Amino acid sequence: MRVPEKYSTLPAEDRSVHIINICAIEDIGYLPSEGTLLNSLSVDPDAQCKYGLYFRDGKRKVDYILVYHHKRPSGSKTLARRVLHSDVTQTARSVKQDQPLPGKGTLVEAGGPEPPMDYHEDDKSFRREEYEGNLLEAGLELEHDEDTKIHGIGFVKIHAPWNVLCREAEFLKLKMPTKKMYHINETRGLLKKINSVFQKITDPIQPRVAEHRPQASKRLSYPFSREKQHLFDLSDKDSFFDSKTRSTIVYEILKRTTCTKAKYSMGITSLLANSVYSAAYPLHDGDYEGDSVEFNDRKLLYEEWASYGVFYKYQPIDLVRKYFGEKIGLYFAWLGVYTQMLIPASVVGIIVFLYGCATVDENIPSMEMCDQRYNITMCPLCDKTCSYWKMSSACPTARASHLFDNPATVFFSVFMALWAATFMEHWKRKQMRLNYRWDLTGFEEEEEAVKDHPRAEYEARVLEKSLRKESQNKEKLRHTPEEPPNKWKQRVKTAMAGAKLTDKVKLTWKDRFPAYFTNLVSILFMIAVTFAIVLGVIIYRISMAAALAMNSSPSVRSNIRVTVTATAVIINLVVIILLDEVYGCIARWLTKIEVPKTEKSFEERLIFKAFLLKFVNSYTPIFYVAFFKGRFVGRPGDYVYIFHSFRMEECAPGGCLMELCIQLSIIMLGKQLIQNNLFEIGIPKMKKFIRYLKLKRRSPSDHEEYVKRKQRYEVDYTLEPFAGLTPEYMEMIIQFGFVTLFVASFPLAPLFALLNNIIEIRLDAKKFVTELRRPVAVRAKDIGIWYNILRGIGKLAVIINAFVISFTSDFIPRLVYLYMYSKNGTMHGFINHTLSSFNVSDFQNGTAPNDPLELGYEVQICRYKDYREPPWSNHKYDISKDFWAVLAARLAFVIVFQNLVMFMSDFVDWVIPDIPKDISLQIHKEKVLMVELFMREEQDKQQLLDTWMEKDRKREELCNNHTPKASPDSPAYHGGAL
């Protein structure tokens, strides 16, 4: 090849900008082979090709579409492209090596001088022609369509013929159903009756889809083999490979095929990354709306799955898998199992909440707080502007706090920990059933082989590194002084140089160190930004409370705590939603600069970074209220200040649990309503509206052209490209954290999650069916790294709930008082026991209230919530013994609760087997049947071979019997001639 000279002439700055710029531009006169374009003309092509689902002949299905931008050629260039169908193509191909490079010569035709060309666009077209030629050599059939209703867009329709499908199915080891049918083991006795009753009860909520009905028999599946085609039912070859399988096979060929005009080998991922092609996607099966639309799987999914009117029905998971592939099918199956498991959690949460409502009037501590006869005067909540206040004014907060802080809360925390463990085990069993039903058992080898294909960005970085090494080697050779010739030494050097060139260049940790360092610094910076925002909200709450305390309106002053809490939570919610979007983009950028080698590695790194940032962003305000607010306040006369001016805020007299509940509920509901639902509904609608406005600005002729019915591939091109399942999983994982991590403070969290998910399933379904291009079907046997994240959240939830019950709620102090300090075995006197006394004469200078007589009397002793010695003690204001007793009880509870719940979770994990017994028996039965099938086949072959051998032996005997016997005088009788 004559490429090294071309590479050496490129400036260094161009090499890092675009891969195309590194590659040599071939000659203008390059002409593709005769078979590259299969443009066939007919009078009414749309009637035959079913509006783009078939080739123009109406027989060959369109399995995949490649899209590219093109410019309308001038008359001379059109004439040049017309030559494609003549016999001159082979001659042009043979002499193209001798033609000059673009810019070094001028081609003149009869029509006049050639207009100036865009060499970059020409290079893209030449690459497309070479790539499509290689696809033809791989056995695919192509058809071009540039005369489309979308100006400047060309489409390449790809069809995989039968022999290519068989070859690739064997290569990919795709399991296909054989002719052999066998009966699935049915349950008997009482279990069978229960199942039949359950099926009758649930029949109204089953989707009207054939695949969803329970099957009594199943076809035996076996990896496809061309040598064993007789095992498979090939009576209808058109439907043997469904559209999902056909598109998967074509995509594997597209990934494997490359164009190698220059040194850099470009596959479909690199061609897409460098805009040689603008899109590549399989087609939807057809339209989903309209009475005249031919019935297809997409229309069935729209009616039985992607409609809000069927929200109460089960999902047709088998049909989802058939249409979108196993990976997307597993996501919706997991989401369905998670939503179903939220039903019992919601019921128990409602019972716990109702128990709190029923016992609120029997709660002695809240009754004492509301009793004005106690006349407890509390210390000011802020310096100067705040005055003394009566504890009875906090009565509503105390009563509301009991709804979420009662003995049933501890039971609910234990229940939710066991619920999380049961959910994980139930999902593993469901996943195993799906693997068996979808013929994914023993899938690990194929999965790794498919996902090892390097990403385009990785290949580009490897190319840049190899070019850099070559230029450095050339510089060294240029400056090296010449030595006397030594033939042996030159041979050794040549051999070593050849070995170095053949070595594959890889990216080492040194190449990635700047990216790793940038990742570390950026993640730490963004976490610091989150903490800074939380600190800013804290300062806002403190300053807002002080400002409202100076208000002359009594109603404003009486609702200071509610006003400050509500506004601060709304600010937190807005910041969380905005930062979530920012952090998602930053996480993707940080992953890109790492340049992971494979898509699997890229996805896992992206998930880890995005989850870490969004976890910190979503839960930091809640962690602050749960574990830090009111813990480092100090005491009257010796408060803790931020920046020497802002006093740390305290919890309400009833504790911080009520505020934690408000914080958690508003953030959870706000994220679900605004971020998950309104954004997912509103953003696509807005994009459609923008497209409509652009359409109205066009000329009337273009508008009429646009209104005409488009081909299927034109309609699908206007849909949004599929961006992966990471955003869908992420919002559900964050919700799972809200449901499990702080469930002790908000028992209604599972209920709100359930209501959200009922809408979310149909919303996601509608998005996949109507608004997104059809994604390439990807095989997967599990949900990947998300399962480990779920397990981690489940384990963390046990620890956090133990600390919430122990340190945030008053559950432990109440138990300590009841069994150690109560005189009559009741909770009477508990409030007085938790309050310490302070002499107002001990206030620091400038911190006493400006209006000490606001209550109408002079205050000498005020109370505050803490366990400290009274002012008349010898060690006044020191921490009392009660504090240490309560702290010891809190820590003991954390240890006991955590170990007990962890043990119970592990016990549930151990008791419930990962693989259902009936599935393991069916898998074993399939293996036995497969062995029997092949043994029978071998026996039939042996019998046939024995029959042929018997026939040959009889024929030989028959021939020998008809041969005349030798006479005694003949030479043959005496052993032949001497």
**What would the pLDDT profile of 224-259 be if each residue is shown by its tens digit?**
888 888 888 888 888 888 888 999 999 989 988 888
What pLDDT, on the 0 to 100 scale, is given for residue 945?
80
CB 119 within 8 A of CB 20: no
Q: Is 860 exposed, middle or buried (0-12, 13-18, 19+ CB in 10 A)?
A: exposed
Give the integer Cα–Cα distance in Å for 338 and 345: 11
Question: What are the residue ranges of helices labelled H in 146-228?
Answer: 162-172, 190-202
CB 609 within 8 A of CB 523: yes
> Considering only CA atoms, which of 585, 579, 578, 657 is closest in space to residue 616?
579
CB 413 within 8 A of CB 806: no
Question: Phi and psi at residue 718, in whole multiples of 5°?
Answer: -80, -10
> Considering only CA atoms, which of 924, 839, 841 is closest in space to residue 876?
839
Question: Phi and psi at residue 65, in whole multiples of 5°?
Answer: -130, 135
The residues with which 280 forms a beta bridge, in sequence order, are 66
**For residue 15, which amino acid is it?**
R
The residues with which 66 forms a beta bridge, in sequence order, are 156, 280
CB 900 within 8 A of CB 817: no
Other residues' Cβ atoms within 10 Å of the Cβ of residue 315: 23
Using 70 as the pLDDT threshold, list the residues of the chain that sit under it: 1-50, 72-119, 148-149, 185-189, 211-215, 261-265, 443-452, 476-505, 552, 557-558, 653-654, 676, 688, 691-692, 694-709, 961-978
Helices and strands in the chain: count of H runs, count of E runs? 36, 16
Q: Which helix (H) or strand (E) holds 838?
A: strand 835-839
DSSP 846-886: TTS-S-TTTTSS--SEEEEES-B--TTSTTTTSBPHHHHHH
Other residues' Cβ atoms within 10 Å of the Cβ of residue 269: 19
Whole-number Cα distances in Å, 793 to 424, 614, 798, 800: 11, 14, 9, 10
Classified as helix, coil or strand, 337 is helix
> Considering only CA atoms, which of 452, 445, 443, 453 is closest in space to residue 780?
443
CB 564 within 8 A of CB 545: yes
Q: Look-up: residue for tokens 């010449």?
A: 482
Give the integer Cα–Cα distance in Å for 730 and 725: 8
Positive or negative torsion for Cα 52, 57, 62, 67: negative
Residues 6+ apart with CB under 8 A from 922: 184, 185, 436
Give the integer Cα–Cα distance in Å for 871 and 860: 11
What pLDDT, on the 0 to 100 scale, is given for residue 76?
37
Q: Which helix (H) or strand (E) holds 309?
A: none
- Supply the DSSP symbol for 146: -
Residues 6+ apart with CB under 8 A from 468: 15
The residues with which 109 forms a beta bridge, in sequence order, are 112
DSSP 8-77: HTS-HHHHTT-HHHHSPP--TT----TTS------SSHHHHHTTTTB-TTSSSB--EEEEEE-----HHH
**For residue 920, which amino acid is it?**
S
Give the integer Cα–Cα distance in Å for 65 and 54: 11
The residues with which 635 forms a beta bridge, in sequence order, are 638
Give the integer Cα–Cα distance in Å for 888 and 292: 74
What pLDDT, on the 0 to 100 scale, is given for residue 895?
93
> Considering only CA atoms, which of 84, 82, 65, 70 is closest in space to residue 156?
65
Tokens for 155, please give them. 């489409």
Give the integer Cα–Cα distance in Å for 547 and 560: 10
Long-range contacts of 826-831 (CB under 8 A, 24+ apart): 826/364, 827/364, 827/365, 828/364, 828/368, 829/368, 830/364, 830/365, 830/368, 831/365, 831/368, 831/369, 831/374, 831/376, 831/391
Tokens for 959, please give them. 């021939």
What pLDDT, on the 0 to 100 scale, is given for residue 333?
94
Angle at 974 between CA 970 and CA 978, to 5 degrees: 95
> Considering only CA atoms, which of 273, 272, 289 is closest in space to residue 281?
272
Cα 167 to chain center, whole Å?
32
Classified as helix, coil or strand, 630 is coil
Q: What would the 3-class secondary structure string for 753-777 be? A: HHHHHHHHHHHHHHHHHHHECCCCC
**For residue 910, which amino acid is it?**
W
Residues 6+ apart with CB under 8 A from 254: 64, 135, 267, 268, 280
The residues with which 837 forms a beta bridge, in sequence order, are 863
Classified as helix, coil or strand, 580 is helix
Measure CA of the first residue to CA of the last residue in the chain; give whole Å. 72
- Supply the DSSP symbol for 362: G
Angle at 57 between CA 128 and CA 279, to 5 degrees: 30
Q: Are strands 175-183 and 389-390 parallel, antiparallel or unpaired?
A: unpaired
The residues with which 641 forms a beta bridge, in sequence order, are 647
Question: Phi and psi at residue 364, in whole multiples of 5°?
Answer: -65, -45
Give the integer Cα–Cα distance in Å for 130 and 33: 9
**What would the pLDDT profile of 649-708 be if each residue is shown by its tens digit?**
887 766 778 888 888 888 888 888 887 677 777 777 777 677 667 656 654 555 445 545
Angle at 228 between CA 255 and CA 232, to 5 degrees: 85
Give the integer Cα–Cα distance in Å for 865 and 653: 7
Give the integer Cα–Cα distance in Å for 644 and 702: 68
Give the integer Cα–Cα distance in Å for 912 and 475: 67
* C-alpha Rg value of the chain to the nearest Å: 38
CB 549 within 8 A of CB 557: yes
- From its phi and psi, is residue 828 left (phi > 0), alpha (psi between -120 and 50) or beta? beta
CB 395 within 8 A of CB 652: no
Question: Phi and psi at residue 480, in whole multiples of 5°?
Answer: -80, 130
Cα 962 to chain center, whole Å?
80
